[in-house]
Amino acid sequence: MKLYEIAYPDENNNDVVEILTEDEIIASYWNYWKERMESVGKHDEISREKCIEDWCVIHWATEVRIPA
Phi, psi at residue 41, to the nearest 5°?
75, 25
Provide the residue ranges of all domains of the chain, joining segments of one domain with +.
3-9+18-64
Percent of the chain topping pLDDT 90: 93
Task: Report yes or no: 45 and 19 within 8 Å, Cβ to Cβ.
Answer: no
* Contact yes or no for 59/2 (Cβ under 8 A): no
DSSP E strands in 1-68: the ranges are 3-9, 15-21, 62-64
35-65 tens-digit pLDDT: 999 999 999 999 999 999 999 999 999 999 8
